[in-house]
Structure formats: structure tokens, C-alpha cells
Amino acid sequence: MTTVISREWEHVVVTGGAGFVGSHLCTALLDAGAAVTCVDDFCTGRPENIAPLLDRPGFTLVQADVAEELPVRRSPDLVLHFASPASPADYLRLPLHTLATGSDGTRHALELARSAGARFVLASTSEVYGDPRQNPQDERYWGNVNPVGPRSVYDEAKRFGEALTTAYADAHGVDTCIVRLFNTYGPRMRGHDGRAVPTFVRQALDGEPLTVTGDGGQTRSLSYVDDTVAGILAAAAHGMRGPVNIGNPGEITMLELAELVIELAGSDSEIRFIERPVDDPAVRCPDITLAKDKLGWQPRVAAEDGLRRTIDWFRAEAAV
């Protein structure tokens, strides 16, 4: 992966660094010459994601639950807070841990940045918009979130994290940024994590029916992980506070996605419709005007190209 980083970082702490997006961030930062401390409790992160990094100069792994502590000895100049269960299957299985990571974990990461005088970037999510009544969603939209629904443990953890990040910037002068990530996909996702792309890819490669919820008319906007990482690092280097949407404005229905995965995988799988989850958003599409204007960033990887790369990775993983 080639990522242009317009600011040189000496030491970066990545919480959730063994996760899907976190591990790609660790790789990109090491490639750019930064020392990286990856902090992860492996509740959803995978050792395999960072195994190739363990012997690289400048890489340090700290196994810890950021909701309990953040035991980093070397002072960083950048803290990327990406620790959190992110898929519905994970945060529904770990509701209290998800909330604790979004609250206490965010506070610990902010305190580390505050004590070190470091730049701080919070990984927020398009889920703060809930089931939006505005489409596409720009950063001024306040959202339509059910605070006591099954998704609330994730949605409200991220919304609280945004509030806490803003308060630290205002009250303590911490140099903060909030990035709202939209439906990132790519290599290193777990096939059973419950999100649409890895689920469809796994099912297509295994010859199973692709399980589309509802009538498949709900939309998502898919951002390939290389694009997402480039957007995150551009926001970190820019110095903006945000929030800023990082995602791909190309909107696709879940039925269209399932059909595309079947085609690209060369699969004979059929499509089976199942019950739609409670509070499942009907639409999801970012307005990325702010990211384009302020960061000079926009996604470059087309859906078909990104999905091919993802399918190839899953196929290679299955062959090991």
C-alpha cells in the first residue's frame, strides 16, 4: 500500500492496532519511517494482522485493555485511538466493553496525548448519524439515533467519544481531530464478523447462499481500506479538528453488492433474504466535500477493484 503522509511523525501510538483498520495504519506508518506502538487487548483484533510487523524496527506491541490502562512508556507525538469492537456481531456480544472503550478508553488515550503534547485522532463512525433522514450525510447533520436500541452501545459510545474529545480540546487545549469512517472494507477483515462485505465474500467462496437482509434495498457506501487509511493520515497531518467524513460517496444497495460479489468471485451461490436487524439504517452515504476541500483527499479505488482485491485475499487465506 502506498500512502502519502505530509507530516513526519516520530512515534505514533495506535490503539486497536491489531484490528482491521488499525493494523493497516500501523503498516502505513512504519513504511513512512515512524516508530509505532500498537496497543490491543485482542478481544476482536487478530495476532495474524500484525505478525508481519513484529520483527520490524520501530514496532512495539503492548497487550492491554485501554478501558483499564494505557501503559505506553515512550512519549508519542501522535495518538490514533482506534480501539473498539466495530461490527454488530462484536459489539452486541461485548456491549459493556464497547461502552467502556468508548468512554474510559477514549479518556485514557486523550490523557496520553495531553501529557505528551501529542496530536490526537479519534476514530468515530458514520453510525453517529444513526438511521439518517438526510442523504448524503454531511458533518453538520446531528443524526437520528435510538439511544436505547440494540446498536446504541456502539453508536452512543462513539458519540460520547466525540463529545469527550471536543471537551478535551476546549478545556485542556489538546490538539484533537475526529474522523467519521464509512463502511471500510478490504483484506484482514474476519469472515464471520457480521459485516456485509466479508460475509458475502465468505459465503460466495464457500458456495453458500448470500444472506441479504430485508429486501436488500438499504444502501451503504464502501471505502477500500487503503483509501480510508490515506484519509485518516491526511486528517492527522492537516491539523483540523473535524469532524470530517472519510468514506466513498458511491452508494450501493445490499442486493447490488451481493450480486457484484457473486459475479467477481465466479460463484454459483444464490441469494437468500433474511430478516432485517432492528434499527438497521436505510441509507448511508457520506458528503466528503470537507475532506476534498481541506485535505485534498478523495477515494481512488473503485468498488470492483477493491472487491476483487478483497476476494483474492480471502481466497488466499482459505488456501493456507
Distance of CA 260 to the CA centre of its chain: 23
Q: Are strands 251-253 and 219-221 parallel, antiparallel or unpaired?
A: antiparallel
Residue 53 phi/psi, 5° resolution? Answer: -95, -15
Residue 284: how many CB atoms within 10 A of its CB?
Answer: 23
Q: Give the torsion through C-alpha atoms of 295, 300, 302, 306, to 10 deg.
A: -100
- Residue of 49, 251, 232, 267 lying closest to 124 (CA atoms): 232
Q: What angle do CA 81, 35, 64 make, to 5 degrees?
A: 45
Cα separation, 173 vs 206, whole angstroms? 52
Three-state SS annotation for 112-152? HHHHHCCEEEEEEEHHHHECCCCCCECCCCCCECCCCCCCH
Instruction: Verify whether residue 168 is a known catalytic residue.
Output: no
Q: Where do the H-state alpha helices sit in 173-301?
A: 196-206, 225-238, 254-265, 289-290
- Residue of 241, 231, 186, 157 lying closest to 23 (CA atoms): 186
Which residue in the list 91, 129, 141, 154 is annotated as catalytic? 154
Catalytic positions are 154
